[in-house]
Amino acid sequence: MVDFRGRERLQIFLSSFYFYSKIYLYIMSSLRDQLLKAGLVTKEQVKKSETTSKRTATRKPQQKLSKKKFTKNKPKKEPSDLEQFYRERATAENKERQQAKKAKEAAARLKKERNIKISKIINENTLNIDNANERYNFVIGTAVKYVYVTPEQLEKLAKGELALSFLKGKCRVISLETAQKIREIDPKRLLIQQDPI
């Protein structure tokens, strides 16, 4: 079975197109005739307009101008005082945050360098002996801690001739000179020393 509706629609479209094109041509030709009769245009101008209208019909449509070109020509409006204040405040806050971040990073770097120096000094000058059997008790805050030392070290610790420091959670016995070097590098470092008798 053949569908005639599509063919009928096509015929209706073509006939209406033909009809309207005829009307358009009639209106245009009558306008030209009227302009010629009135003496507003010459025959040469009419021929020229016919050829240009044919050319424009066959030309490709021009590309649309981008929006950016229009925005360049627009004059910039002056920012209000409030906008300028907020912009300045935002830049100032951003600058302060960056400075605080840099200061924090510098402090962390210095602390790390101090800890490396102190751990090197403690490792080189530790006086701990593995087979020491005397227990030396000391207090940090409210907690009682202890370290095993030799009898000579126990006597020197009691007199205040030796000091204690911590490295990686372990208590280390060090000399007073080593303790003084550590205090010079980091005065806040925890060092335990008895007052000399």
Residue 149 neighbours by CB distance under 10 Å = 23
pTM: 0.50
pLDDT at 119: 92
- Read off the pLDDT of each residue in 9-17 and give the average, rounded to a whole number: 71
The answer, yes or no, to whether residue 165 has pLDDT greater than 80, is yes
Angle 47-52-57 from CA coordinates, rounded to 5°: 130
The answer, yes or no, to whether residue 72 has pLDDT greater than 90, is no
What does the domain layout of the chain look like in residue ranges?
A: 13-53, 118-192
Per DSSP, 171 falls in state: E
